[in-house]
Structure 1
Amino acid sequence: MFSKLIAGLRVLTAASLLSLNTLVHVIPLLLVSLVKMVLRFDAVRGVCDRVLMAIAASWIDVNSWMFDHLTDTRIVVDGLPEPQLDGHFLVLCNHQSWVDIPVLQKLFNRRLPLLRFFLKSQLIWVPALGLAWWALDFPFMKRYTRAQIERRPELAGRDIEATRRACAKFQRIPVSVVNFVEGTRFTEAKHDRQDSPLEHLLKPRAGGTGFVLDAMGDSLDTLVDVTIVYPEGAGELGALFANRIPEIRVDVQVTPIPDELRGGDYQNDPEHRERVQAWINQLWADKDARIARLLSSST
C-alpha cells in the first residue's frame, strides 16, 4: 500500500512538472510562430526558426532533467554519434512505448537537429503540446481505413501530399525526420495478428520512409538507425515515473543512405518501390537480431 502511494506521488509530481514545463515553453513558441507567420521574409523566418529550435531544446532539457532526477531508470547506449547540428537525418526506430519518444529526445537533443515526428492528426488537440507541435512544424497525418479509401479513392493520396509539404519545409532547415517504421507500438497481440516473421518486431511498413526519401531528395543522406529495448518489459510514461522501468538499452547505427534510394518515385515506380522495401526489410531483419543480442547481453 505504501509503495503504491509513493508511486502515485511520483507520477503526480512528474505530471505536474511536465505540464508546467510545457506551459512555460509553449507560450514563447506560439509568439515566435505568429511572428514567423505574419512577417514572411526569409531573414525573419530564419531567425524565428533558430529561436524556435532553441526553445524546443530548452523544453527537452528540462524533461531530460526530470528523467534523470525523478526516476532511477538507467539508459545503456552504444554508438551515440558525435554532435552534428547541421544537415538532414533520417531516424528509423522500433516502437514499443510512448517512453521511446523522451528517450530519443534525451539522447539526441543538442546532438542532432531537432527530431520531427509524423503525428496522428488527433494529437493536435492534446492540450498545450498540440500547439507546440504545430508551432514546430511537426506534420500531422490523418489515417484512413481501407473502406474509406475504397469509397473515396482520392483520400489515398492525402498523406503523401502532407508528407511532401512537411518535407518541403524541412529542406530549408536542419532536421532529423523520425519514422517508427512499424506504424504502431509493438504488442504481442499485434505481433500474433500479423503473423510477423520477426521475433521481436512487427512487420515494417516502407511507405512512409519511401515518401520521405522521395520528397527530400539528395538533401537527406544519413540514416540514424535506433534500436530500443526494455529488458524488464516496456511500460508507458506512468510506469516510467512510477520507477517501474529499471533499464533501457539503446543501440545506434549511423550509416549513409544508399544513393539509389533517394529522390525516386515510391508511388509510381514499382522497381524503386521494391528497392526501398527490400532495404527496409533488411534493416528490420538486422534490427530483430540486434534486439535479441541486446536482450541477452549482461551489463
Structure 2
Amino acid sequence: MSRLLAAITLVISVALTILVTVLCSVPIIIAGIIKLLLPVPAIWRSISKFADFMMYCWCEGLALLLRLNPHLKWDVEGLEGLNKKNWYLLICNHRSWADIVILCVLFRKHIPMNKYFLKQQLAWVPFIGFACWALDMPFMKRYTRGYLLRHPERRGKDIETTRKSCEKFRIHPTSIVNFVEGSRFTLDKRLETRSVFQNLLPPKAAGIAMALSVLGPQFDKILNVTLCYPENRRSPFYDMLTGKMTRIVVRVSLIPIEEELHGDYVNDKVFKRRFQGWLNELWHEKDALLDSIMQKKKAGQ
C-alpha cells in the first residue's frame, strides 16, 4: 500500500470512527445523566439495558469499518458454547488499543456486552469517559511502588474499586474484561518489569481475584483470550486505521471456576500465593501459545 493511500485511509478511518463513537456515546451520556438525576433502581436497570444496546450499536459500527479492509483475515478458534445469558470473566493479554476494538467486535453476538477495567485517565476523554461511566465500567487508578511507599493509605484502593463495581454487575448477565498485565506490552516494559515471559508482562492477580470473590457463583466460566497480530506486531492500532492490518489471530479457551479460585486475596496469604501461582502458570501457557503462533507465521503457514 502506498503512503498516500495509507494516509487517505487513516483520515477516513479516524473520521468514521469518531462519527460512530459520537453517535453512540451521546445517547449513553444522556441516559447516564438521567441515571444520575433519578437514583431509582428500576430506572437504573432500564437505563443500563439501553446503554448496553447503544454499545452494541457501537460494536456493529466498528465491525462494519473493519469489513472495509479487504486484506483483513480473521483466524479465530474457541467461540463454541458461549451464551449471552451467562456471566463471564474475560482475561486477555494486552498488546494495543486495537485489542478493545477486536474484543468488542468479536464477542458482540456471543456474550453479554463487555465491561472493561479502564485506566483513570480515560475518564477525561471527551464522550468516551462519561459514556463508560454510564455503562458502569470501573476506572482504576494505578500507583507506582514509590508512591505507595510514600502514601501507604492508598494501598488496596483499586481492589476496593473492583469490589464496588462488581456489585453492580449482579443485576443482569455481564462480561467483565480485565487486561491482566495492567498495561500494553512493549519490549521496554518487559525489561522494566523483569518479565520472565517473552511476549507478555507479569500478570496482576488482585483484580480478577476480587471479581471472583464478589460475584463468585454467578460467573459461569473464565474466558481466557489470547490476541496476536502476527504481521502487525509493531503498530496494530495504526495499521488497523490505515488498512494495513492483514491478520488477527484469536484463541479462546473456557476455564471452569473451581472452588480453589475463591478466597480472600487481601487477607489470606496462602490463598494469595496459590492464586498467583495458578495465574502465572496460565500466563506461561499463553506465552507458549503466542510463540507457537509466531513460529507458524515465520514458517509461512
* Shorter-chain TM-score tier: over 0.9
Pairing of 1:246-285 with structure 2 (within 5 A): 246-262=246-262, 264-285=263-284
3-state SS, counterpart of residue 253 of structure 1 = strand
Alpha-carbon contact 1:81-1:254 (below 8 Å) kept? no
After the TM superposition, which of the residue ranges 31-40 and 52-61 deviates more from structure 2?
31-40
Q: Which runs of 5 or more residues in structure 1 are unaligned?
A: none
Give TM-score, length-normalised by structure 1: 0.93
1:144 aligns with 2:143: yes
Match of 1:239 in 2: 239
CA distance in 1, matches of 2:26, 2:163: 28
CA drift at 1:172: 1.5
3-state SS, counterpart of residue 2 of structure 2 = helix
Match of 2:213 in 1: 214
CA drift at 1:223: 0.6
Match of 2:199 in 1: 200
Q: CA RMSD in A?
A: 1.7
| 1:245 aligned partner, one-letter code | M
| 1:275 aligned partner, one-letter code | R
CA distance in 1, matches of 2:47, 2:32: 7
| 1:249 aligned partner, one-letter code | V
Match of 1:188 in 2: 187
After the TM superposition, which of the residue ranges 145-154 and 273-282 deviates more from structure 2?
145-154
Q: Which runs of 5 or more residues in structure 2 are unaligned?
A: none
Match of 2:63 in 1: 64
CA drift at 1:93: 0.7
Alpha-carbon contact 2:79-2:110 (below 8 Å) kept? no
Q: Deviations over 1:238-270 (max 9, x none)?
A: 2212122211111100121112212x2101101
- C-alpha change, 1:193 and 1:147, in structure 2 (3 Å) is closer
| 1:274 aligned partner, one-letter code | R
Match of 1:154 in 2: 153
3-state SS, counterpart of residue 231 of structure 1 = coil
CA distance in 2, matches of 1:22, 1:71: 23
Q: Deviations over 1:161-210 (max 9, x none)?
A: 11111111112221111111111111122223333222222222212222
Match of 1:53 in 2: 52
| 1:238 aligned partner, one-letter code | Y
| 1:135 aligned partner, one-letter code | A
Match of 1:26 in 2: 25
CA drift at 1:237: 2.2
3-state SS, counterpart of residue 28 of structure 1 = helix
Alpha-carbon contact 1:92-1:223 (below 8 Å) kept? yes
1:128 aligns with 2:120: no
Pairing of 1:59-138 with structure 2 (within 5 A): 59-70=58-69, 72-138=71-137
Q: Deviations over 1:189-234 (max 9, x none)?
A: 2223333222222222212222222222222241100011111132
Alpha-carbon contact 2:32-2:131 (below 8 Å) kept? no
After the TM superposition, which of the residue ranges 173-182 and 32-41 deviates more from structure 2?
32-41
CA distance in 2, matches of 1:138, 1:293: 34
Count residues with an aligned counterpart.
297
Alpha-carbon contact 1:98-1:237 (below 8 Å) kept? yes
3-state SS, counterpart of residue 14 of structure 1 = helix
Match of 1:286 in 2: 285
Alpha-carbon contact 2:205-2:276 (below 8 Å) kept? yes
Match of 1:42 in 2: 41
CA drift at 1:34: 2.4
CA distance in 1, matches of 2:186, 2:36: 41
After the TM superposition, which of the residue ranges 233-242 and 148-157 deviates more from structure 2?
233-242
| 1:112 aligned partner, one-letter code | I
CA drift at 1:134: 1.2
Alpha-carbon contact 1:71-1:240 (below 8 Å) kept? no
CA distance in 1, matches of 2:68, 2:131: 24
CA distance in 1, matches of 2:113, 2:72: 24
Alpha-carbon contact 1:78-1:251 (below 8 Å) kept? yes
Alpha-carbon contact 1:70-1:241 (below 8 Å) kept? no
3-state SS, counterpart of residue 233 of structure 1 = coil
| 1:294 aligned partner, one-letter code | I
Alpha-carbon contact 2:236-2:245 (below 8 Å) kept? no
CA drift at 1:38: 3.0
CA distance in 2, matches of 1:23, 1:179: 25
CA distance in 2, matches of 1:170, 1:257: 18
